[in-house]
Amino acid sequence: PSYTELYRPQFHFTPSKNWMNDPSGLLYHEGIYHLFYQYNPGGATWGAMSWGHATSRDLTHWEQQPVALLARGYPNNITEMFFTGSAVVDVDNTSGFGHSGKTPLVAMYTSYYPYAQTMPSGKTVQANQQAQSIAYSLDNGMTWTTYDAANPVISDPPAPYSDQFLNFRDPNIFWHKPTKKWIAVLSLAELHKLLIYTSKDLKNWTLASEFGPVNAVGGVWECPNLFPLSVDGDDDNLKWVAMIGLNPGGPPGTIGSGTQYVVGNFDGTTFTAEADSLYSGTTPPPSDSIVFADFEGTGSFADLGWTPAGDLIGQSPVNGTLRGQNPVTGYLGKRLVNTFLNGDATTGTLTSRSFTISKRYINFLIGGGHDFNNTAVHLKVDGQIVRSATGTNSESLSWQSWDVGSLLNQTAVIQIVDTSSGGWGHINVDEISFSDSMARSQVANWVDWGPDFYAAQSYNGLPPDEHIAIAWMNNWQYAGVIPTSPWRSATSIPREFSLKTIDGKATLVQAPTEKWGSIVRRKALDRSWSSLNQGTKSLGSVGKALQIELSFSDREPAAAEASQFGIIVRATPDLKQQTRVGYDFSTKEIFVDRSQSGDVSFDGTFPATYYAPLAATAKGQINLRIYVDWSSVEVFGGEGETTMTAQIFPSDSAAHAQIFSTGGNTQNVRIRINEISSAWA
Ligand code: FRU
């Protein structure tokens, strides 16, 4: 392939054609970086999950390889799909898979079985079960053999969670040197729990401990990772980082997928979070909250100003079967609705109310029942859904927050929606309020604050002081409809991870690791200004794939004015299409505004602005490194303690750039732009 199609990333990996999601086995071995990934060999939407494969010697130039694990029975009678997992080099041949001096590579993945069946090992699995299996390669990762004699090697979740067999996935395996054991970290997705197993041989696994729920718990927890990083470059001060995908439930202001991390300690058995990496879960809403939905107790929607004006559901279960729970006070505590509908689903909008948005955040409690995930809350402006949230079926309510700072003073409608398709379930929402601060449970350590950084995984097999991670640069909210063809989805720039003490706290910092020297084509621009006047300054046509370094002084925000400095990239000559990347001096936040970035029509939530906190350096400078590709923007703020990743789909003619300084002049501005050439040429 030529890799010159509209939107084809020039320095990010994409499969030559078809659908990709999570990195599923990142392994460095004998000078080669292997990238295995969730892949549909038969089309450009999710399905027939297999492990695709690509290799690189420099994390910059990639070579497409044949599919490594093809869905069993593909294409006509798929009996097993290969979901996300990871891979290791079994140097000491603990598995016994090696022979004739060949070192085995071993992968562990989630087997997903569309049908109940008896496996060649004699084990039986249920329809839609997820269980963990292994495969090995004796030719350095090019071809793989599934371990049919015993797969799945971890077939069911442990007893207290045995009902979770439909949502038990994404093994992250690695060698733990101090205890000389293999570790597998797995997700009980719906319960927001990680399970940690140990093994001597990669075949027999023993449950060692569990972790969670902590911090952000929107949606499901997926794709866990656990790895050590030294703090401030001190090899004697190692801390462990648990990295966890959430879907939906990403950073405030995003919709859909996101990735959080927790810093702690791992002793080979148990992961213990550090106190300053934890935020307490369900705490009362911020004290300045203007509550406009407190449904506790009895009454009707009409009393509270909501329409339609029926009784608060939940006090009269349709079928009377409440599993011994008290529907009013006992089961989930405060709630709007707690329905047990039997064969009589009230789907669609249950109640709604119109408001003027008066503060930056909308916070609310949302939850679900035991078996189903039926609760959604939508925020609509001008008839369009601009924010949405779903509850989880974890039998508890948790806080979610929307950043609606960009919608202040607009009239909006909040709808509470039953998304069930029939049967029974619970709808739970309460305490919807406006506030200047976020409700606690979306307070977390976010790996990336943008909308398109998910299922991140760190490399196995690297030297101990190197830690490189790659994410899926997409979001389940719209992944299946992004306007690319004949492929769908790219990976993020590979990122070097480390921990740095910032404000007394071990903080993840990230740096892009590509070999820029091999693909940076030419300097497009290098300019500085001691003071740049308020207004805009055109930089002309600088290109579509760019490396930008932008630094400037922090300043006192002008009162009552948008006070921002930044750069517009991927703009058409008429500026109708543009992506804005900048800094807001009043909120001390980086932002990426993709509301007019090109094709934004395929999903109602896509055109939006995203924000992330960033403090100035000790000298009062803001430093941004911005990587622009044919369909993405990645921002590394400061020393890499804040990153933001967003897809964009601008037209071919969108190669212009412009600087903007609003609400005042900006001092000490330096901008350097290099044009990046294709890594595929
Ligand atoms: C995350 C995920 C994983 C799962 C895989 C299936 O994006 O849902 O939990 O293993 O995708 O493709």
How far is it, in rounded angstroms, from Cα 643 to Cα 510?
A: 8
In a domain, 10, yes or no: no
Confirm if 153 and 203 have CB atoms less than 8 A apart.
yes
The predicted-structure confidence for 169-182, as pLDDT tens digits, reads as follows 999 999 999 999 99
Do 75 and 35 share a structural domain? yes
Q: Is 49 in the pocket of ligand 1 (CB under 6 A)?
A: yes
Residue 1 confidence (pLDDT) above 80? no
Do 195 and 71 share a structural domain? yes
In a domain, 5, yes or no: no
- Tokens 């930044």, residue? 566
Mean residue pLDDT across the chain: 88
Do 37 and 133 share a structural domain? yes
Q: Is 170 in the pocket of ligand 1 (CB under 6 A)?
A: yes
Confirm if 48 and 71 have CB atoms less than 8 A apart.
yes
> pLDDT band at residue 298, thresholds of 50, 70 and 90?
low
Domain boundary among 419, 442, 465: 442
Q: Which two tokens stand for residue 486?
A: 């004949």
Do 194 and 75 share a structural domain? yes
Q: Is 674 in the pocket of ligand 1 (CB under 6 A)?
A: no
**Residue ranges making up the domain that contains 525:** 519-676
Q: Could you tell me the strand order of the sheet in which 193-199 lies?
A: 168-176, 181-188, 193-199, 206-211
In a domain, 147, yes or no: yes
518 or 681: which leads in pLDDT: 518
Tally of domains within the chain: 3
- Which CATH number covers residue 424? 2.60.120
83 Cα to the center of ligand 1, angstroms: 6
Domain boundary among 461, 476, 511: 511
In a domain, 12, yes or no: no
In a domain, 128, yes or no: yes
Task: Say what percent of the chain tops pLDDT 90.
Answer: 70
Rounded mean pLDDT, 121-150: 98
22 Cα to the center of ligand 1, angstroms: 7
Do 438 and 460 share a structural domain? no
In a domain, 131, yes or no: yes
Do 657 and 643 share a structural domain? yes
Do 235 and 173 share a structural domain? yes
Rounded mean pLDDT, 269-282: 83
> pLDDT band at residue 307, thresholds of 50, 70 and 90?
confident
- Which CATH number covers residue 465? 2.115.10.20
The pLDDT assigned to 331 comes to 34
For residue 445, give the H/E element and its range.
strand 445-446
Q: Letter for the amino acid at 445?
A: N
Specify the ligand 1 atom closest to the Cα of 454: 7
Q: How many CB atoms lie within 10 A of CB 43?
A: 14
Q: Which of 456, 643, 637, 445 is nearest to 550 (CA)?
A: 637
Do 308 and 200 share a structural domain? no
How far is it, in rounded angstroms, from Cα 154 to Cα 185?
A: 12
Do 593 and 663 share a structural domain? yes
Do 318 and 176 share a structural domain? no
The predicted-structure confidence for 209-219, as pLDDT tens digits, reads as follows 999 988 887 77
In a domain, 560, yes or no: yes
How far is it, in rounded angstroms, from Cα 289 to Cα 266?
A: 38
The pLDDT assigned to 23 comes to 98
Q: Is 22 in the pocket of ligand 1 (CB under 6 A)?
A: yes
158 Cα to the center of ligand 1, angstroms: 21
> pLDDT band at residue 523, thresholds of 50, 70 and 90?
confident
How far is it, in rounded angstroms, from Cα 152 to Cα 456?
A: 24
The predicted-structure confidence for 462-508, as pLDDT tens digits, reads as follows 998 899 999 999 999 899 999 999 999 999 999 999 999 999 999 99
Distance of CA 86 to the CA centre of its chain: 18
How far is it, in rounded angstroms, from Cα 368 to Cα 427?
A: 6
Strands 411-418 and 348-356: antiparallel
Q: Which of 63, 55, 2 is nearest to 31 (CA)?
A: 55
What are the catalytic residues?
22
The greatest distance separating any two alpha carbons of the chain, rounded to the nearest whole angstrom, comes to 78
Rounded mean pLDDT, 310-314: 53
Do 260 and 367 share a structural domain? no
Do 601 and 547 share a structural domain? yes
**Interface confidence (ipTM) of the complex:** 0.97
Residue 408 confidence (pLDDT) above 80? yes
